[in-house]
Amino acid sequence: MAKARTASLGGMGWGKCARGMTFFVVMGCLFAGGAPVWGAPTVAQMLSFHPRQEGVVCTTPTAEDQKDCKVELVKTQGGSGWLLKDKDGKPLRRFFDSNGDNRIDVWSYYKEGDEVYREIDTTFTGRPDQYRWLNAGGSKWGLDEAKDGHIKSWKVISPEEASQEVLHALIAKDVQRFQALLVSEADLKTLELSAEEANRIREAGKGAAARFQDTAAKLTNLSSKANWLHLETGIPQCLPSEQTGAHADLVKYTGGTILYEVGGANGWLQTGEMIQVGTAWRLVDAPVPGAAPVEGAPAGSGQTLDNNPQLRKLIEDLNTLDKQLQAETGAGTTSVAKQLQRADLLEKIVAEVKADQRDPWIRQVADSLSTAAQSSPATDTTASTRLLSLEKQITQAMPGSDLAAYVTFREMQADYSVKVGRVRDSKDINRVQEEWLDRLAHFVETYPKADDTPDALLQLGMVSEVLNMRSRPRTGTLS
């Protein structure tokens, strides 16, 4: 009788045990007529495999909970493997043989039931050469042709994830990890830049490894306890192909500021120029320590957050408050007082920065006031009054502008949300939605090219349909 093969782990795959040693143990399952010849791997054996890349956060049950976990055989037309589930049936680990050669080639790790990280062996030799972060784990996709566990290049990586890699490379003083983020000759070929632009990027990158090591040496406060907080960038720039002489448009950031925290103190790093190559973002040069120049300051003025302590303090206070708000959001609560406090801080920042750099800060003011207005009790109109005042101020000072459209739409959304929440009967809801239709129509006419206009048009159609359905006479009779 022919035997249908299923995947095996260990001797026909690989893993790292808790001691960091590679181990090999046969725990596969061969089937003869549907009956298992060897038993499935145990829960402990499945959990003894760990991600090769650091920082992966996945669900691992306690020793007590492991007693209720189960290992199941999973099969597809082309392969098979093992799926470990927790007591509620949520997946924890999935090790799979995708090509039916009886060797594991996909190792998947889950958090709260969703896959967050995957290792892939595309050459079917028993060791992965690709690493992917998924769902809440991120979006990056690293390549390791040497199969030594060190990512050599990135197929997919966002600006934020690239900045995280910069920080981790500096913490470890790992120049190879940093170099995986740099623009390569293959990237320049992909971009098909003009000779002048390609040479500019090459020159900027010369000596980047040495400059990286110099930055790492200066950052004596960095340790494994350092936490990446976020990446601050301006608006990405699109350089049309006819301007650069490239085959296609070039999208880039002129610079980015990494904010990190270690030992309760904030630190800053500058990424320098970042360029988009396909689905990955690349660095042009090494990071440098220090706060960002104050946006809008005259070239050569030396005005930075380091010598503008008031602005630096405001931004640090804002970051501290944002962490508190993130914790509350995760707990399913919204603090009106903290959103108003955030708006106060943002308005102070607006007063500190140059006029032509105020746009993103004002947008955040509108966001905070809108959130506060929608969460305020009926007797408290503080947030909605401030938001309406901001709208009038911006629309009068900058009529028809993108910023005016942004603030106006946030005020409209907050006003509609509050009114809908106070509806008592069908007559009230019709009145509120008719007012909403009028405001949406006026917004579309006033700001036909705004970022929020497609959303406004969509809502126009949806609310119109709802109102039409309510006004239609019912057909048919009951007998």
What's the CA gap between 396 and 360, in Å, rounded?
Answer: 18
| Sign of the four-CA dihedral 357, 362, 364, 365 | positive
Among 263, 265, 269, CA closest to 230: 269
Phi-psi region of 139 (alpha: psi -120 to 50; beta: other; left: phi over 0): alpha
The answer to whether the CB of 205 falls within 8 A of the CB of 284 is yes
Residue with tokens 């969703």: 114
CB atoms under 10 Å from CB of 196, counted, come to: 9
* Angle, CA 358 vertex, CA 352 and CA 363 arms, to 5°: 125
Strand partners, 156: 141
State the greatest distance between any 2 C-alpha atoms of the chain, in Å, as a whole number.
88
The answer to whether the CB of 406 falls within 8 A of the CB of 449 is no
Per-residue pLDDT tens, the chain, 479 aa: give them.
Answer: 344 444 445 433 434 433 233 333 333 333 323 333 345 899 999 999 999 999 999 999 999 999 999 999 999 888 899 999 999 999 999 999 999 888 899 999 999 999 999 999 999 999 999 999 999 999 999 999 999 999 999 999 999 999 999 999 999 999 999 999 999 999 999 999 989 999 999 999 999 999 999 999 999 889 999 999 989 888 899 999 888 888 889 999 999 999 899 888 888 899 999 999 999 999 999 999 887 554 433 333 334 555 567 887 888 888 888 878 877 765 555 688 999 999 999 999 888 887 877 888 999 999 999 999 988 998 899 999 999 999 999 999 999 999 999 999 999 999 998 888 887 777 788 888 889 999 999 999 999 999 889 888 988 888 888 777 666 554 444 33
Quick one: tokens of 237? 């720039």
pTM: 0.61
Domain definitions of the chain by residue range:
3-156, 173-290, 305-422, 424-471
Residue with tokens 């170099």: 179
What's the CA gap between 412 and 79, in Å, rounded?
Answer: 54
What's the CA gap between 368 and 387, in Å, rounded?
Answer: 9
